[in-house]
């Protein structure tokens, strides 16, 4: 094996090892397929902890391979080093040139994995599960207090049409990736989509930087076999054959077997990416049913131990608004625009709210039970709020009348002025 082939083999084995191990160990929740990565957490978490100690990272830190956790960075770095060493070892051990079959099937595997991921993210957008409507408390949080990722998430979630459009833009290349004759345009569109996704994640500090970068790496690897032909066509202005990388049946029986198998696999991918939404009947999360308490409430009368507390900045801790979040949170906005969240357990029969696990350190390990009453668009809450007996009268806010959730299309600037 000459030096050039050694480098090519080494690079292939590095990408092969790193990609397969990353896909194997990184936990990704699926609807139909097993979350294989979660099978290894009991072994990987202590190992990641050991890596952190080895590199002098002080405890505590997140060992789990979640989003952009410290553990995720550590383990990804370890996989890079391990794959590099393994690629050199394998290249020295195997003197023969790369097997074209291995290269082809690896290319097909990465194409289908990328297609599955894009289908999942695309469906999440089309059915409004990734970029959902901003929560009531978010709508009343001053923009300057929002993190960049929350601001981006809320902006995207406020537009149904653009969220669906962005989902379609991911589904189109995913479908193209599944067929060898359309794979190249699928890869090119995927590359453009994922460059944008990676820039959004870094630009808005969204915590899927590592995973989105990995998907972009896969796209670059898939694009590599076509670079020479694309360079000849678009730069040198010469004719060149575009390689068709994929399985080609050699007989009628092989064609039948291939067609049935591929149809079954594509069906599984489509079911994995969309089955949850059809099974639950939630095809537009904006319209999904919410709890009776869900929403935002203006507190127009508030008492603390029998004393009426006026809505004034002289009483910064007085409740200004309260919110009920879809994920079982009760959130208080005080007069000085601080937001304090509590997990809440609602008992509809007893009409009680049990608050616990507060975001405020003074209440973190305590629980409190309040009683509530709903009267048309009004909500009354009373009881011992930890060490004080409070009563609050509030009026539900019609969130659809807020500018962000109101009229979606203005054809002229006159509509903004009026």
The predicted model gives 8-28 an average pLDDT of: 95
Distance CA 210, CA 198 (A): 9
The predicted model gives 77-105 an average pLDDT of: 92
Determine which helix (DSSP H) or strand (DSSP E) holds 223, and give its type and residue range: helix 209-223
Which of 59-63, 68-72, 313-317, 333-337 has the weakest average pLDDT?
59-63
Specify the pLDDT at position 94: 85
Specify the pLDDT at position 407: 67
Specify the pLDDT at position 240: 86
Distance CA 413, CA 417 (A): 7
The predicted model gives 321-348 an average pLDDT of: 96
The predicted model gives 69-76 an average pLDDT of: 96
Angle at 162 between CA 283 and CA 406, to 5 degrees: 85
Task: For residue 136, give the 3-state DSSP assignment.
Answer: helix
Condensed to tens digits (0 to 9), the pLDDT of residues 149-159 reads 999 999 999 99
Confidence class for position 4, pLDDT limits 50, 70, 90 = low
Distance CA 329, CA 353 (A): 11
What separation in angstroms does the CA of 380 have from each of 44, 52, 322, 354, 396? 49, 50, 11, 15, 11
The predicted model gives 340-362 an average pLDDT of: 93
The predicted model gives 287-305 an average pLDDT of: 96
Which of 55-59, 73-77, 175-179, 369-373 has the weakest average pLDDT?
55-59
Q: From 24, 20, 19, 74, select the one nearest 45 (Cα to Cα).
A: 74
**pLDDT of 418 strictly over 60:** no
Specify the pLDDT at position 264: 97
Specify the pLDDT at position 417: 63
By CB atoms closer than 10 A (0-12, 13-18, 19+), residue 240 is middle
Distance CA 71, CA 60 (A): 11
Contacts 24+ apart (CB under 8 A), 156-165: 156/131, 157/128, 157/131, 157/132, 157/133, 158/133, 158/134, 158/404, 158/405, 159/408, 160/128, 160/284, 160/286, 160/408, 161/408, 163/125, 163/126, 163/128, 163/130, 163/131, 164/125, 164/126, 164/128
Specify the pLDDT at position 1: 58
Condensed to tens digits (0 to 9), the pLDDT of residues 390-415 reads 999 999 999 999 989 876 777 787 76
Distance CA 327, CA 39 (A): 27
CB atoms within 10 A of CB 177: 28
The predicted model gives 27-34 an average pLDDT of: 95
Q: Among the residues of 94-208, which ranges form H helices?
A: 100-126, 136-139, 148-157, 160-177, 183-203
Task: For residue 194, give the 3-state DSSP assignment.
Answer: helix
Average pLDDT over all residues of the chain: 93
Specify the pLDDT at position 66: 87
The predicted model gives 235-239 an average pLDDT of: 90
- Please say whether the beta carbons of 292 and 135 come within 8 A: no
Instruction: Classify strands 329-334 and 319-325 as parallel, antiparallel or unpaired.
Output: antiparallel
**pLDDT of 3 strictly over 90:** no
The predicted model gives 66-80 an average pLDDT of: 95
- DSSP E strand stretches across 274-318: 295-304, 307-308
pTM listed for this prediction: 0.92
Domain spans in the chain, listed from the N-terminal domain onward: 3-280, 295-401
The arrangement of secondary structure in 295-401, i.e. its CATH architecture, is Beta Barrel (2.40)
Specify the pLDDT at position 364: 83
Confidence class for position 363, pLDDT limits 50, 70, 90 = confident
The predicted model gives 67-71 an average pLDDT of: 94
Confidence class for position 59, pLDDT limits 50, 70, 90 = confident
Q: What would the two tokens of residue 85 be?
A: 């060493």
Distance CA 19, CA 211 (A): 11
Q: Among the residues of 250-380, which ranges form H helices?
A: 252-280
**pLDDT of 416 strictly over 70:** no
Specify the pLDDT at position 205: 94
**pLDDT of 223 strictly over 60:** yes
């Amino acid at each position: 094996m000459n030096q050039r082939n050694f480098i090519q083999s080494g690079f292939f084995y590095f990408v092969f090892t790193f990609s397969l191990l990353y896909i194997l160990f990184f936990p990704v929740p699926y609807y139909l397929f097993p979350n294989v990565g979660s099978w290894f957490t009991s072994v990987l978490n202590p190992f990641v902890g050991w890596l952190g100690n080895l590199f002098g990272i002080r405890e505590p830190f997140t060992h789990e391979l979640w989003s952009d956790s410290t553990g995720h960075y550590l383990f990804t770095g370890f996989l890079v080093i391990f794959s590099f060493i393994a690629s050199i070892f394998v290249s020295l051990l195997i003197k023969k040139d790369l097997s074209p079959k291995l290269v082809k099937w690896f290319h097909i595997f990465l194409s289908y994995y990328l297609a599955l991921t894009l289908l999942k993210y695309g469906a999440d957008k089309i059915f409004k599960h990734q970029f959902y409507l901003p929560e009531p408390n978010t709508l009343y949080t001053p923009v300057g207090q929002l993190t960049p990722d929350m601001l981006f998430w809320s902006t995207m979630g406020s537009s149904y049409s653009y969220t669906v459009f962005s989902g379609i833009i991911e589904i189109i290349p995913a479908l193209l990736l599944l067929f060898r004759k359309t794979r190249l345009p699928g890869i090119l569109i995927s590359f453009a989509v994922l460059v944008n996704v990676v820039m959004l994640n870094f630009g808005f500090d969204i915590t899927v930087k590592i995973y989105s970068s990995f998907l972009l790496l896969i796209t670059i690897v898939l694009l590599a076999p076509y670079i020479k032909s694309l360079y000849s066509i678009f730069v040198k202005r010469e004719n060149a054959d575009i390689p068709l990388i994929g399985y080609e049946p050699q007989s009628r029986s092989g064609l039948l077997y291939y067609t049935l198998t591929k149809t079954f696999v594509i069906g599984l991918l489509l079911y994995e990416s969309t089955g949850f939404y059809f099974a639950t009947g939630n095809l537009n999360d904006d319209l999904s049913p919410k709890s009776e308490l869900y929403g935002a409430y203006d507190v127009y009368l508030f008492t603390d131990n029998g004393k009426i507390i006026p809505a004034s900045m002289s009483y910064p801790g007085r409740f200004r608004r309260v919110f009920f979040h879809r994920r079982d949170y009760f959130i208080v906005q005080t007069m000085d625009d601080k937001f304090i969240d509590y997990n809440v357990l609602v008992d509809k029969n007893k009409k009680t709210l049990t608050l616990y696990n507060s975001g405020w350190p003074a209440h973190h390990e305590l629980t409190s039970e309040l009683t509530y009453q709903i009267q048309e668009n009004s909500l009354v809450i009373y009881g011992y709020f930890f060490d004080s007996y409070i009563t609050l009268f509030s009026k539900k806010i019609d969130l659809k009348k807020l500018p962000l959730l109101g009229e979606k299309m203005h054809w002229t600037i006159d509509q903004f002025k009026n």
